[in-house]
Amino acid sequence: MRPLACALPLLLLAPLPAQAPADLRQRAEWFAADLADLGRRYDQPMSGERRARLGDRLRQEQRDLQALDFTALDRERRVDWLLLDNHVRSAMRRLDAEAARDAALHGLLPFADTIVSLGEARRRLEPVDPEGAAAACAGIAGRAAEVRAGLQQGKFDALPPALPARAAQRVRDLRGALRGWFEFRDGYDPLFSWWVAAPWAAADQALGELQEALRRKASAGGGDGSLVGDPIGEAALRQELAAEWIPYSPAELVAVAEREFAWCDAELAAAAREQGCGDDWRRALELVKQRHRAPGEQPQLVADLAREAIDFLEQRDLLTIPPLAKECWRMAMLGPEAQKVNPFFLGGETIRLSFPTAAMGHDEKLQSLRSNNEHFCRATVHHELIPGHWLQEFAEPRHRPWRRLFATPFWTEGWALYWEMRLYDLGLAHGPEDRIGMLYWRKHRCARIVFSLNFHLGAWSGPRCVDYLVERVGHERAAAEGEVRRSLGGGYGPLYQAAYMLGGLQLRALHRELVRPGSPWTEKRFHDAVLHQNSIPIAAVRAALADAPPGKDLSGWRFADG
């Protein structure tokens, strides 16, 4: 139980301000808290009421920001103003896009409005008519059964596979919302349970059967339904890029990736020649894949590589590594099911290792061993721990924590990828095998730009993305499928996979601008400064580190030219 307010000294009970504060840090904190409260209160999927209420709050924030005198702000506060304004505009656009995408599902989900209405009435604490609620549940079950019959009869054969896949996700959301609505009163209200329990159970079963039927429809071509995905199209991609202040078209970014690919190919060919493989990089890669630790030994390898990276950084005074950051990271192992989606590493405070388990089939074990060999690990360990994601996670609550509202993969993944490139240049690799291992991941990041943007442009299917990773990068097929499954599954934004390499290129370009002969920017000062800006678009990091305060437009930085 929380302590009573009356137990506090009266002097501590100062009233809250009636309006959000003018200070940009406080505004961001207040705004994030408001959105969190509204998100919990208006939590029904596909709810027009939810979108309207969130839209009201966003428009209010936009009006308040415009009322501030931008020219009177110092550099730090201008950056915060730009971040908050950009976040508001992007959130409003995404609400509109969500509404349009949900509207396209109306024919497949004719019961959605009923479920949403029941859930919204519960949140408004309105009284329930048990007999009417039972009839509503019966109607939901009937309409779900009609759609399922229509799927079986070919009524929806003309739909693109992405639409049934999206509808299956929404059925899952709606089914969960209906369960929450039912369980709120079940057992507490005897008359409600008497009327509603059986019709709700029928509706829940019908929704589950429809969800499975939609999944089958999405994979009707005989392929893996988890590789279908839901492309957003070129216009939406351009809007997502604009939200990161990136002035390139998707086609231009694919060309940038191909340029980086060409550099990797040349480096890989040189390393292959050192291995005695001529220019046959596939043969050299095969030799590297065969050099893996025995079962049970992978944790020790990762621990050794983590310590080696820290020593390498500190010996060269490249950035500040707080003692607590070196002390507090942990390790865990991923199970067989998790490895179907994450065939390599996951990281942060806890680095999670993919490696064969006793429960895997023989072929799965071999592919996992090859995908997590010693030389591939050289880059992934420091990517996930220090100086990568764990050092970022350590810094975020300690430096400008109010900016976590603006989190972007271009900073999160771009920073870790930047260090892959920087440590390669500085000689972390011990020989050609290590260089091949590190270049494998660099090619992988190039490929992520190519396959993810082509997918969202509607040019490539999920299976074609898998083939591309196998043929162009050298992935094991199971690893390529896991990579594409994770990319297209809806848990990541459409630019997430492209953000690794693109964010790394942005930071590399910014490093070249600032850390040069005669500049006051040392390696350490630069890296600490980027880390202390928190997770914001790299164009905003550049504005924060510039000598002069920024204007209102950060979109002109052509970081990948030349």
Residues 187-221 have pLDDT tens digits of: 999 999 999 999 999 999 999 999 999 998 887 65
Same domain? 203 vs 87 = no
**Which residues make Cβ contacts (< 8 Å) with residue 197, sequence separation at least 6?**
186
| Alpha-carbon 362 to chain mean position | 32
Query: What is the phi/psi pair of residue 560, to 5°?
Result: -100, 10
Q: Kindly state whether residue 195 falls inside one of the protein's structural domains.
A: yes
Same domain? 351 vs 436 = yes
Give the range of the structural domain holding residue 188, as residue numbers without chain letter.
Answer: 112-222
User: What is the predicted pLDDT for the residue at 455?
Assistant: 94
CA–CA gap between residue 265 and residue 275 (Å, rounded) = 15
CA–CA gap between residue 95 and residue 465 (Å, rounded) = 29
Q: Kindly state whether residue 165 falls inside one of the protein's structural domains.
A: yes
CA–CA gap between residue 542 and residue 246 (Å, rounded) = 13
Same domain? 418 vs 515 = yes
Same domain? 146 vs 171 = yes
Q: Kindly state whether residue 212 falls inside one of the protein's structural domains.
A: yes
Q: Contact 423/312 with Cβ under 8 angstroms? A: yes
Nearest to 484 by CA among 224, 310, 286, 262: 224
Q: Kindly state whether residue 350 falls inside one of the protein's structural domains.
A: yes
Q: Kindly state whether residue 8 falls inside one of the protein's structural domains.
A: no
Same domain? 242 vs 269 = yes
Q: Kindly state whether residue 7 falls inside one of the protein's structural domains.
A: no
Same domain? 42 vs 158 = no
Q: Contact 377/509 with Cβ under 8 angstroms? A: no
Same domain? 61 vs 187 = no
Q: Contact 539/521 with Cβ under 8 angstroms? A: no
Spell out, as residue ranges, where the chain has pLDDT lower than 70.
1-22, 220-225, 340-343
Same domain? 98 vs 127 = no
Which of 70, 103, 136 is where one domain is finished? Answer: 103
Specify the number of domains making up the chain.
3
Q: Contact 109/167 with Cβ under 8 angstroms? A: yes
Nearest to 443 by CA among 265, 222, 176: 265
Question: What are the percentages of helix, strand and coil residues in the chain, rounded to 5?
Answer: 65, 0, 30
Same domain? 333 vs 477 = yes
DSSP conformational letter for 115: H
Name the pTM for this structure.
0.90
CA–CA gap between residue 549 and residue 75 (Å, rounded) = 4
Same domain? 176 vs 278 = no
CA–CA gap between residue 218 and residue 537 (Å, rounded) = 35
Q: Kindly state whether residue 388 falls inside one of the protein's structural domains.
A: yes
User: What is the predicted pLDDT for the residue at 343?
Assistant: 66
User: What is the predicted pLDDT for the residue at 2?
Assistant: 43
Which of 49, 74, 103 is where one domain is finished? Answer: 103
User: What is the predicted pLDDT for the residue at 69?
Assistant: 95
Which of 71, 103, 135 is where one domain is finished? Answer: 103
Q: Contact 239/93 with Cβ under 8 angstroms? A: yes
Nearest to 394 by CA among 408, 381, 405, 384: 384
Q: Kindly state whether residue 417 falls inside one of the protein's structural domains.
A: yes
Same domain? 290 vs 422 = yes
Cross-strand partners of 330: 350
Same domain? 203 vs 274 = no
